[in-house]
Structure 1
Amino acid sequence: MTSRPFFKVALAGLVLLVAVGVVWWRGAARSDGAGPPTPGLTGPSLPTAAPASSAPVAAASASQAPREQIPMPGCWDGLAALDRSATLESLHAAVSAAIQARDTALVAYLQERLTELVGEDPDRALQLVTWAMKAAPPEPAIYLEALKASPAVRHPRVSEKLLSVAEDKSLAAPDRASALDALETQHRFTPDTRNRLRAIALDDSADAAAWMATRTLGRVMKEDYQRTGTYAPYWKDLLDIGTTSEDMAVRLLALEMPSYSDPLLDSGSIDTLAKVMRTDKERDVREMAAFRLAVTEDPQKALAAFRAAFDGEHDLCVRWAFLRFAVRAAGADALPLVEEFARKDPRLRQDYLDFKALYATGTTDFARIWLGKKEHHDCVVEEGAPH
């Protein structure tokens, strides 16, 4: 019985000697003729970097067997020195150098350092905006993303500057959109700010900036709703955009944005959404209006809106949207209306039978009902569309 521990110790020692021998052999093989470094292990010299030392590289023999290359983390000449004495100006120069070298990893790191350096200082934040407006792509997005992540972005001087940039029609649409994107982390918007954002969203010439203004309104609505329970003023603006914009993508987004905070839709909005379901020329927008009606404080009024829109709708996928969102709005109380829809359009009969059977089991939660519902229609749901 005493020989087993001794055997274990001896075996462990033998394994250790073999491991040491393997490491020594690999090191000797690399020192004899390591060949060129693995691509991507070194990066561009930064503005504060010391000159890098060069080492002769021996040509690899054609007869040599392939050797294991151990991955190493990326490194950049002068990065430690830059970190120790970083200023906005030195990071600005470093970003330009990294972009020229197409080093996306280094650019991402420098963007984070800019955010740290800006902190809560509005003057530093405004300097980033100035650089963004003078630079060529992709620099503007880098500076504004760095600003977006800093607390200083919520300083009144900074948010006003970003909004002014977004309103400047002389700037390229992507630059205006980047400024709007940086505004998305605000905790709330004043009535004046909302009006100015709505004006951008409804500007047919704003292109990407119009879409981004709509998203910014929706995302700050979510933030304000989570903090204070306030959503109605934002939703009023979004509903206006969703019913009057000439851009289908903007209308669709405006109606979609409440989905991310799920406020209970007030009864007064139902009439407006009912009109969208009956009159909008785009199938996706009509479906989104139906989706919006699915969470309301007045389910019976929502059912009446679905009934009024059904006969004039000839697209099967939109009719299917009316049916399923009626069920989501009112649960089992919607079954008589669903049966009516199935009589008018036999293509929906199996959906009625499915929902009837599911509610007969006693389940009332729509999420569970939906898990048990089979799909019978080839209605492709694109990203961002209701499902």
Structure 2
Amino acid sequence: MTSRPLFKVALAGLVLLVALGVVWWRGSAGSNDAGPPPHVAATPAVPTAAGGNAATAEPPPAARTGPREEIPMPGCWDGLAALDRSATLESLHAAVAAAIQARDTALVAYLQERLTELVGNDPDRALQLVAWAVNAAPPEPAIYLEALKAAPAVRHPRVTEKLMSVAEDKSLATTDRASALDALETQHRFTPETRGRLKAIALDDSADSAAWMATRTLGRVMKEDYERTGTYAPYWKDLLDIGTTSDDTAVRLLALEMPSYSDPLLDPDSIDSLAKVMRTDKERDVREMAAFRLAVTEDPRKALDAYRAAFDGEQDLCVRWAFLRFAVRAAGAEALPLVEEFARKDPRLRQDYLDFKALYATGTTDFARIWLGKKEHHDCVVEEGAPH
């Protein structure tokens, strides 16, 4: 019977300790706006009774009884204000090298932002960052190219061409080529020539991570162009070619996934290619992704025919379950006869049919709401980007 009063006493004590800690923190944090020198913890001054020098005053008894926690204050960098006032690319370049050597990640991040500001719309300054990136050792290339990525000058034709040349240079480290491709992701559009060059990198078996990054870059600029102008078809054609011909599973999977981030309605001509992927790709994840991609199309009836044609030859339950749920996403309640057919062929899917039938019987038509009410009956990992 005494446990609850004791608990209340303990809780009150804990609240008091937290309150005292907050008061101490505010007092110490407000004592010096600039903060202590780097790597030095701030210790609040101890006032004397007569207002004398705190450094020579006798510390209070509480300060002598044992160790106390010291919370480090935000750091400041010696000479940073002067560097800011007269910053040039060269001075920031030197400062980045010094910050990397000191392993000061916060300072590196700040200098990267300053580089972006200093480059601005100037293509010559942008090209200087590319030159430094090509000739530097990791992690400097990624820092310079990430700074360039955020600057408007990255979209200047001379800069775009230089980044493409770096991405295509097989004599460079794969990570540096990937960083150049990453810097291209903020383009507003790609010309047919640039798309072709990116596609070539994506299909290059020796490109490793650069192939994956080229695919992502195509997809992200597709999203940008689609949102600005409604254009997606040329990019999707390239991505579909990559998704059906690359030897790299991760690249194929990503190529088919990228439209998910803008969800354009796919044209009926794409259905045949995706249907072939569902029937023939050797990787389960890729077959599932093709089914997912097929669910947002201008021709739901043709999509249902593709799911039906792929079902019998598929032995993996999780892929069959993907065919079923994405058929429902593609055509809504009109897919229920096909779902019933799937359930007859594979009794493991019968409860899914009953679930969807009951949900649509309530009058709900929006698939997102239908999916929220759907119970999970299979131990399958839902692919990234799919509703879950």
Shorter-normalised TM-score: what interval? Answer: 0.7 to 0.9
Question: Equivalent residue for 2:186?
Answer: 185
For the pair 1:341 / 2:342, whether they are aligned, the reply is: yes
Q: Give structure 1 regions of 4+ aligned residues with deviation exceeding 4 angstroms.
A: 36-42, 60-64, 382-387
Alpha carbons 1:202, 1:245 under 8 Å: kept: yes
CA distance in 2 between counterparts of 1:209 and 1:92 reads 26
- Matched residue, 1:8: none
Q: Is the 8 A contact 1:284 1:385 kept in 2?
A: no
Note the C-alpha offset of 1:68: 5.3
Query: What are the within-5 Å matches in structure 2 for residues 234-249 of structure 1?
Result: 234-249=235-250
Change (3 A) 1:41 1:292: farther
CA drift of 1:67 comes to: 4.0
Q: Indicate yes or no: 2:67 matched with 1:66.
A: yes
Write the deviation string for residues 277-320 of structure 1: whole angstroms up to 9, x where unpaired. Answer: 00000000000000001000000000000000000000000000
- Is the CA contact 1:122–1:153 (under 8 Å) kept in the aligned structure 2? yes
Change (3 A) 1:110 1:362: same
CA displacement at 1:386 relative to structure 2: 7.2
Distance 1:91 1:269 in 2: 49
Instruction: Give 2:294's aligned amino acid.
Output: L
Task: Tell me the residue number matched to 1:366.
Answer: 367
8 Å contact from structure 2 (residues 212, 254) kept in 1? yes
1:57-113 CA-to-partner distances (Å, cap 9, x unmatched) read xxx999553345354221111000100100000000000000000000000000000
After superposition, the Cα gap between the structure-2 partners of 1:330 and 1:207, relative to the gap in structure 1 and judged at 3 Å, is: same
Query: Is 2:201 the counterpart of 1:218?
Result: no
SS at match of 1:92: helix
8 Å contact 1:41–1:73 — kept in the other structure? no
TM-score scaled by length of structure 1: 0.84
Native 8 Å contact 2:311 2:320 kept in 1: yes
Segments of structure 1 that go 5 or more residues without pairing to the other structure are: 1-18, 31-35, 43-55
Judge conservation of contact 1:288–1:386 (CA < 8 Å) in 2.
no
Is the contact made by 1:355 and 1:373 (CA closer than 8 Å) also made in structure 2?
A: yes
Aligned residue for 1:349, secondary structure, equals helix
The separation in 1 between residues aligned to 2:374 and 2:359, in whole angstroms, is 8
Conserved in 2, the CA contact under 8 Å of 1:129 and 1:143?
Answer: yes
TM-superposition CA deviations, 1:134-158 (whole Å, max 9, x none)? 0000000000000000000000000
**1:107 maps to what in 2?**
108
* Aligned partners of 1:194 and 1:217 also within 8 Å: yes
Paired with 1:98 and 1:218, the residues of 2 have a C-alpha distance of: 34
Q: What is the one-letter code of the residue matched to 1:189? A: F
Structure 1: which amino acid aligns with 2:309?
A
Tell whether the 8 Å contact from 2:39 to 2:75 is kept in structure 1 after alignment: no
Residue of structure 1 in register with 2:257 after alignment: 256
- Once the two structures are TM-superposed, the CA of residue 38 in structure 1 deviates from its matched residue by 8.7
Alpha-carbon contact 2:368-2:387 (below 8 Å) kept: no
The one-character-per-residue Cα deviations of 1:324-347 (angstroms, maximum 9, x if unpaired) are: 000000000000000000000000
Percent identical among aligned pairs is 88
Q: Report the TM-score, using the length of structure 2 for normalisation.
A: 0.84
Equivalents in 1 of 2:385, 2:98: separation in Å? 37
1:381: Cα distance to partner? 3.2
Identify the residue that residue 291 of structure 2 maps to in structure 1: 290
Q: Which residue of 2 aligns with 1:330?
A: 331
Cα pair 2:37 2:76 within 8 Å, conserved: no
Q: Is the 8 Å Cα contact of residues 159 and 183 (structure 1) preserved in structure 2?
A: yes
- CA displacement, residues 218-245 of structure 1 (integer Å, 9 cap, x when unaligned): 0000000000000000000000000000
Write the distance in 1 (CA, Å) between the matches of 2:262 and 2:67: 56
Aligned residues of 1:41 and 1:75 also touching (Cα < 8 A): no
AA of the residue aligned to 2:245: T
**How far apart, CA to CA, are the structure 2 residues paired with 1:178 and 1:161?**
13
Show the counterpart of 1:208. 209
Q: How many residues align?
A: 344
Q: Distance in 1 between matches of 2:297 and 2:198?
A: 26
Alignment match, 1:156: 157
Contact 1:287 1:386 in 2 (8 A): no
C-alpha distance in 2, partners of 1:299/1:40? 65
Displacement of 1:380 after TM fit? Answer: 2.0
Matched, 1:196 2:189: no
Other structure's SS at 1:348 match: helix
**8 A contact 1:177–1:209 mirrored in 2:** yes
**Structure 2: stretches of 5+ with no match in the other structure:** 1-19, 43-54
The answer to whether the Cα contact below 8 Å between 2:289 and 2:383 also exists between their aligned partners in 1 is: no
- 2:316 alignment partner in structure 1: 315
* Kept after mapping to 1: 8 A contact 2:239/2:256: yes
Tell me, yes or no, if the aligned pair for 1:299 and 1:329 is still in contact at 8 Å.
yes
Does structure 2 conserve the Cα–Cα contact (< 8 Å) formed by 1:198 and 1:214? yes
- Cα distance in 2, alignment partners of residues 102 and 70 from structure 1: 21
Deviations 1:17-48 (A, max 9, x none): xx9xx99xx99xx9xxxxx9894769xxxxxx
Any conservation in 1 of the 2:113–2:147 contact (CA below 8 Å)? yes
What does residue 96 of structure 1 align with? 97
Contact map agreement 1:95 1:110 (CA 8 A) in 2:
yes
Q: Which runs of structure 2 are paired with 1:257-276 in the superposition (5 Å)? A: 257-276=258-277
